[in-house]
A and B are shown apart, each in its own frame.
Chain A
Amino acid sequence: MFIAFYITDSKNSLVFQYLLGSNSPLFSHLLARIRAVCPGLLSKDDENDNTPLFHCCIAKDLEVYKYHSQVNNLNYYCLASGADSRPQTDTFTFLQLLDQTLLEYFDKDKLTVTKIVNNYDRITMIFYMSIDSGEPCVGSLNSNRIRRVIPVKSDLSKMINNTAHTLQRAVRQPRQGILAATPEILESEEVVPWRSGHLKYTSDEIYVDIIETVHVIYQTHHRNNSVQMVSGTINGQVNVKSYLSGNPTVEMDMDLAGNEMYAPSMHQCVEMPQGSPSSLCFIPPDGNCNLLNYTIDLDMNPKVKVTSPVGLVSVIYKDGLGLNRDEFEVHVNISNSPSVPHIQDLKLQIELQPRIQELEEQEEEAQRDAEMDTEAKKERSQLEDGKIKVLRNTHGRFDNSVHPGRGTWIFDSETPVGSLPVLRGCVEDSKHPVRIQRVGVSYANEGMLPSGIGLRRINVRSTTNLRENNRGKRLFKGVKYVCRTGDYEIRS
């Protein structure tokens, strides 16, 4: 049973709280308690001091759950009791759902603190609707119901447009003047729980976004300078934004490009596909919705060669170059693609191997070291892990990290495709051969998906004539492909 909900920013200062009773503690009180009992709950991901927790018991039968929303950079806390034999998944999922609901309600890509502060009343009402008697309120979690009860504030231009359109229509079809409104309301029944009845749009539109996130790990083979995939996954997400009148059925046909989607997860509205998930049929919820999540397993797919790169960017590096064998070279190959103009925010994190002291060396130094005190030893080891110095660089800039032996090669926000950036660097004052331990790659591009999946066509079927209002205009406003990297790593 939920007792209270809190939203805080990443530094754990309160942004919003929703208390479900007079006994629910204020966040300041809870925070003090958490600090005393389990400070791990408050620590952030990137701090290495202690591993962050996401759940803890602060008293008997009183638990705190935490969900960190990466998109919004907000923390959601939930105080709950009586979670006897249910796994914690419920609560965590519910917190995530609240986050999504807020995003969908405000139709934003990112929820800022200001937005929350400005809309305290609405957000409180959304929470009030989503939670009943301390449980997720079954049945009113659909965004359409929330939107029906708490209408979205429409801005001025929308209002003017709508009024103009209504007038225009009233002039064009005088028969159905004011009286026509009544039958419309009468048939306002919901066909499906996720879609309100009698939706009317002046211009009917539907958009599709497909976003793929690549998680791949490669292993370099020094013998033949090739890389081999250790493990690889592509997580795909199909989002549909629909503004269609009436209750249309949408058929979506996808080109899977030979990939297999095993057991994808789908929105409630999707009709079970016959055999393959390539053709889906659904009554879209109004507005934004996450239609389909799929995972492509690159390890099991025989079509994917373990050596061929995933996505447009591939990286090869050589180390132990130069006279002192203390130089290394990183080659990036951005392949050409007609549909992708440029790569965004390309970044390479380079990490050198911490020099392992060779055995024989140490034996040599053993005697000397014995006399030396530990302080001096430390100093020496610090000196050895020198900074990375760039010798030649074709694109972008190089940033040394505070950790010795690490650095980031940061490109401009847009790098044209077809280019071949090269970075050659060395380690200052190094007496030993330099080896690269790992290179992490991160980038994003639009226009093409690494899996090659694409949308073939969309059919919208509706009894009410959707084209009535916008003859000659297309309903389907296009598809957007976005590729991002999650974990892209090349190890040696």
Chain B
Amino acid sequence: MVDSIYRIASALESAKVITMDAAAIATSKLGETSYTTYSKNITPEQLSNLLNSRNPREIKDGMKRIISVMASGETTIDVESYFADVVKNIISDDAKVRIMVCIYLLRYAERDPNLALLSVNSIQKTLSDVDPETRCFSLKALSDMKIPSLFPVVLYTLKKAVTDPSASVRGEVAFSMLKLYREEGEEVVEELEPLLKVLLSDADPLVVSSAIVVLKKCFPQHLDWLHGHFRYYCEIMRELDPWAQNSMIDLLVSYCKQFLPRPTVVDASASADGVQSAILLPDRFNEIQFPVYDVVNHPDLTLFLQSLEPLIHSMNPSVILSSSNAFYQLATPMQFKKSEFPQALVRTSVFSNNIGVKSSLLQTILILSSLDSSLFLPYTKKFFVLPSDDTRVACLKLKILSNLINEFNVRVIVDQLKYYISTSQCPELVITAANTLAVCGQLSVRWESHVMKWFISHMETSKLPNAVLDSYVNVIRLLNPKRHLKTIMKLSEVLESRKLLADNVRAGIVWLFGEIAAVAYKICPDVLRKLIPHFSFEGPETRNQILLLAAKLLSYDIDNFRESGDVNEYDLDNSRIGQLYKAVAYLSEFDGDYDIRDRARCYSSLFLTRKFEIATLLLQAPKPSPVAASLWSPSSNGEQDLDWESVGLDKNLQEFHRMLPWNENIPETDDDLRKPAALKDYSRYKKSFSSDSFAGKNVSGGINSVSSGDWPLQPTSRQITATAAAAPAKKYRLQSLEEFFSDIPSKQTNKPKRKIVIESSSGEDDEESSSSDESESGDYRGDEDESSSSDESEGGDDRGDEDKGGDKNDDGDEDNASSSSG
């Protein structure tokens, strides 16, 4: 009795638990948060049960839990221990669960290769799914597993999938090749090369996009593969995926440099004489001497540059960057300006709120503007610092400004710079602004004195951090003090009248006089004389500098004395400067600061032992001028590799903009190297749709226009077909049971459909393409069949052979090309 009651109670209890679970799952439909709470409360044991459940819903819950543990970085559950439980769900009917298993495999397959291999068979089965999306993910999952014993299988799969009717699958093939290449490297190169060539000759922009990315990553040196496709690629440039466009542009830039003749620049202004001087495009940007000129390009180069023009509207900053680089590398400044890419650069940098992007773009602008400021002159005001700008961005803007200064905008720019210097809290910004202001000062004598006066007055009035002050002093030194002695005199008055100035400011000014001694020696001894009485009241830095000033003056005085040709030895004790120095040295000997004492001893020993040459070397050494001057002045020697790093540019950006050399010895060939090669057109887009007006988008349209002239190639490839049908790429392979059984029904469904297609198609070419276009299942089966019964499925085989023929032909072309070029 008690027993039965107990049983009933326990049954009720379990019923309650079930109800609660059901309720939790039910609420999960309604609210995400409640589902998350439910999911979080799954215990490790439950999780194992869920994953092994027969109920798809429970499996999904289990997988979701696994994924969220992976994503959140939780450590409560060791996800790896569920390997077997997870992997066996790869056969699930639910696509989402399969993807989740793939994600799991991506991360953990390497850890347990043996268990991971268990899933391979199931994945392989889905490789022949009807849905291209499924095939795509299977391929991705298969190649994601980094297990060496699996690589031959992947390679085999790729060879098969490269002729898949779906573009996305073919695109995926490219990425799988990339993975394979990264793992195996040189070992698989020979196998991958033909595959990549097939993909490169695809008609679909999506496939070309993926193939280009792979080409760029794996075989950037094989530019010759692009010969036959150059023109087609230029044509479809806009339809490529934005993430492939930049790789494409980079590759084509290298291609043009390698295989196209250097453009000629013709002087248009001299045409009045009847004699036109012409030069080749110079190696450096903006080195063309002619005021007006025309450019004669190879037609293919023109085609490429034209294909870039629509990209000006791209939303992807990298595309803008790559296109600008293309113009920088391949065209004259005038063409660059006309292409409006400078504007696109500025616009993108103004618009973007992604600081990383912004700084890259500004760095590019900085490089370009230093080579030709006129490119960005109209946008000067866009480089004014905004209050919300990041320090790095602001500094780059100021550096760009320093390239753009001319007589017309200098007033506005100086006003701005003064504002930044006097209000900014950030020392880095202030220093950059000060350097830029110095560049303004170099424009003319008037501005020079203006800037110098402003600096000096500003130096007096505000408290400055050390770094900023250093830059001020540097700037003043840079601005040729000789011409502004009056201003300099004022500085000495400052030194005299305002004892309250910070130690470092005074030290800076004193140091400045030491430097001025080289150009205007006369005023300096007096400055020193006035400083000596207050020596002991000065701060340590100033005392140090006074000592240095005295030593410098003495050194100059000795040199002057020697130059005057006096036969006598310089009399250290009787010369005025010598006595001044001695006074300072004497004072320094009792200094509290050991550094000053040491220095005093050092200098004294130099002078007393009459090693004047060493003193000269030591004290009159020319100082490197601040960055602002050496780099930006137009007279700076035209070395190709300017030291950009001192300006704060990234290395890889510098590398990116490094001017590639033109290939000087391009072999003259009668053949057209870039004769368009046959395209592998799986055209699935040949369909009337509502938006035919979209000529730019209509993929098939573009293909037709390019390939129309090349259809004569088709018959030859057909002839090859007959002989080559049996030969390559047909390895014997064991069929799995599923494939064996699935053969028969698929063929049956195949036939009636084909009839319809043939009726609707008009020409032979169309027939082929549309037969591949028909129900993918049937076609795909056809491919699968090849191994066992090659003559059963006509359509599939026919097309497959066709492609091989095309391949052959392609290779032949390629050979021709290379032999003729070599």
B386 near A215 with CB under 8 A, answer yes
Q: Which of B258-266, B617-625, B649-657 contacts A (4 or more CB under 8 A)?
A: B649-657
Please measure, in the bound complex, the distance between the C-alpha atom of A293 and the C-alpha atom of B382, giving whole angstroms. Answer: 17
Query: Which of B99, B176, B497 touches A128 (beta carbons < 8 Å)?
Result: B99
Query: Which applies to chain A's interface (DSSP): helix, strand, loop or mixed?
Result: mixed
When distances are taken between beta carbons in the complex, the residues of chain B under 8 Å from A300 are: 378
Residue-wise interface mask of A (199-228) relative to B, using a CB-CB cutoff of 8 A (1 in contact, 0 not): 000000000000000010101000000000
Q: Is the CB of A121 within 8 A of B652?
A: no
With A22-B111, A128-B102 given, is the CB distance from A272 to B310 under 8 Å? yes
- In contact, A87 and B386 (Cβ under 8 angstroms): no
Tell which of A26, A124, A293 touches B351, judged by Cβ atoms closer than 8 Å.
Answer: A293
Known: A117-B36, A133-B182, A270-B313. A54 touches B461 (CB 8 A): no
Interface footprint category on B = 35 or more
Contacts A114-B33, A369-B500 given; indicate if A85 touches B656 (C-beta within 8 A): yes
Q: Which residue of B lies closest to A351 (CB)?
A: B423
Which residue of chain B lies nearest to A349 when distances are taken between CB atoms in the complex?
Answer: B387
| A328 interface residue (CB < 8 Å to B) | no
Residues of A within 8 A of B217 (CB): 135
Q: For window 241-261 of chain A, which residues contact chain B by CB distance below 8 Å?
A: 246-249
For chain A, residues 79 to 94, give those with C-beta under 8 angstroms from any C-beta of chain B. Answer: 83-94
| A51 near B387: Cβ-Cβ < 8 Å | no
**Interface membership of chain B positions 535-572, coded 1 if the CB is closer than 8 angstroms to chain A and 0 otherwise:** 00000000000000000000000000000000000000
**With A133-B175, A263-B340, A293-B315 given, is the CB distance from A128 to B103 under 8 Å?**
yes
B454 CB within 8 Å of chain A: no
Q: Which of A136-144, A169-177, A331-339, A418-426 contacts B (4 or more CB under 8 A)?
A: A136-144
Interface residue? A311 (CB, 8 A): no
Q: Is the CB of B110 within 8 A of A22?
A: yes
Question: Does chain A have a CB within 8 A of B138?
Answer: no
- Interface: A402 (CB within 8 A): no
Could you tell me if A55 and B500 are in contact, using CB atoms closer than 8 angstroms? Answer: no
Given known contacts A89-B360, A356-B462, is B96 in contact with A125 (CB within 8 Å)? yes
Which residue in A85, A88, A266 is a CB contact (below 8 Å) of B313?
Answer: A266
* In contact, A92 and B360 (Cβ under 8 angstroms): yes
A90 near B72: Cβ-Cβ < 8 Å:
no
Which chain B residues numbered 30 to 71 have a C-beta less than 8 Å away from chain A? 30, 32-33, 35-36, 63-64, 67-68, 70-71
- Collect the chain B residues with CB atoms within 8 Å of residue A117's CB: 36, 68, 72
Confirm or deny: B243 has a beta carbon within 8 angstroms of a beta carbon on chain A.
Answer: yes
Bound form: Cα–Cα A297–B351 in Å: 11
Contact of B315 among A92, A94, A231, A267 (CB under 8 A): A267
CB-defined contacts of A18 to chain B, threshold 8 Å: 71
Cβ-based interface call for A21 (8 A): yes
- Of the candidates B176, B350, B354, B428, which one forms a contact with A93 in the assembled complex, judged by CB atoms under 8 Å apart? B354
B689 near A231 (CB under 8 angstroms)? no
Report A-chain residues with C-beta under 8 Å of the C-beta of B312: 263
Determine whether A299 belongs to the interface, using a CB cutoff of 8 Å to chain B.
Answer: yes
Which B residues are in CB contact (< 8 Å) with A321? none
Assembled-state Cα–Cα distance A52/B684 (Å): 50
Q: Knowing A121-B64, A138-B210 touch, does A14 contact B73 (C-beta < 8 A)?
A: yes
CB contacts (< 8 Å) of B601 on chain A: these are: none
A264 (CB) vs chain B CBs: closest residue: B313
Closest to A270 in B: B313
Q: Pick the contact of A28 from B73, B143, B179, B412 — CB < 8 Å? A: B73
A489 at the interface (CB under 8 A from B): yes
Q: A12 near B: Cβ within 8 Å?
A: no
Q: How far is A118 from B28 in the complex, measured between Cα atoms in Å? A: 11
Are B390 and A149 interface neighbours, CB within 8 A? no
Q: Once the chains are docked, how many angstroms separate the CA of A230 from the CA of B419?
A: 12
With A121-B64, A128-B106, A265-B313 known to touch, is A51 a contact of B391 (CB < 8 Å)?
Answer: yes
Q: How far is the CB of A299 from chain B (nearest CB, A)?
A: 4
Complex Cα distance, B35 from A210, in Å, reads 37
How far does the Cβ of A52 sit from chain B's closest Cβ, in whole Å?
Answer: 7
Which of A231, A266, A271, A464 interacts with B690 by CB under 8 Å? A464
Contact across chains for A118 and B241 when beta carbons are under 8 A apart: no
Which residues of chain B have C-beta atoms less than 8 A from A230's C-beta? 381, 384, 412, 416
User: In the complex, what residue of chain B is closest to A14 when comparing beta carbons?
Assistant: B73
Residue B707, interface by CB 8 Å: no
CA distance A24 to B691 in the complex (A): 45
Known contacts A118-B36, A125-B96, A133-B175; A93 and B693 CB within 8 A of each other: no
Within 8 A of A (CB), among B348-364: 348, 350-351, 353-357, 359-361, 364
Within residues 451 to 481 of chain B, which ones have a CB less than 8 A from any CB in chain A?
460-462
The stretch of B1-9, B316-324, B573-581, B802-810 that contacts the partner chain: B316-324
**Distance between Cα atoms of A20 and B810 in the complex (Å):** 37
Contacting chain B: which of A185-193, A390-398, A443-451? A185-193
Residue of B73, B176, B315, B390 near A52 (CB, 8 A) is B390
Contacts A85-B652, A463-B690; is A48 near B425 (CB within 8 Å)? yes
B500 touches A366 (CB 8 A): yes
Residues of B close to A356: CB separation below 8 A? 461-462
Q: Taking CB as reference atom, which chain B residue is nearest A190?
A: B685
Question: For residue B168, which residue of chain A has the nearest CB?
Answer: A139
Chain A residue nearest in CB terms to B378: A300
Q: List 11 A-B contacts (CB under 8 A).
A: A83-B652, A93-B357, A96-B357, A124-B71, A125-B100, A138-B209, A191-B691, A230-B381, A249-B694, A295-B351, A489-B386
15 additional A-B pairs beyond A83-B652, A138-B171, A138-B175, beta carbons within 8 Å, are A1-B182, A22-B108, A51-B392, A52-B390, A87-B364, A121-B67, A135-B217, A136-B243, A191-B690, A263-B344, A263-B347, A271-B697, A283-B694, A486-B386, A487-B388
Q: State the B residues within 8 Å of A (CB).
A: 29-30, 32-33, 35-36, 63-64, 67-68, 70-73, 95-96, 99-100, 102-103, 106-111, 133, 140, 143-144, 146, 168, 171-172, 175-176, 178-179, 182, 206, 209-210, 213, 217, 241-244, 246, 310, 312-318, 321, 340, 343-344, 347-348, 350-351, 353-357, 359-361, 364, 378-379, 381-382, 384, 386-388, 390-392, 412, 415-416, 419, 423, 425-426, 428, 460-462, 497-500, 650, 652-653, 655-656, 684-685, 687, 689-691, 693-694, 696-697
Which A residues fall within an 8 A CB radius of B? Answer: 1, 14, 16-24, 26-28, 45, 48, 51-52, 54-55, 65-68, 70, 83-96, 114-115, 117-121, 123-125, 128, 132-133, 135-141, 148-150, 153, 156, 189, 191-193, 215, 217, 219, 230-231, 233, 235, 246-249, 262-268, 270-272, 281, 283, 290, 293, 295, 297, 299-300, 356-357, 359, 362-363, 366, 369-370, 437-438, 440, 461-464, 486-487, 489, 491
Q: What 10 A-B pairs come out closest when comparing CB atoms?
A: A92-B356, A120-B68, A118-B32, A463-B690, A231-B381, A299-B381, A85-B655, A120-B71, A487-B386, A133-B179
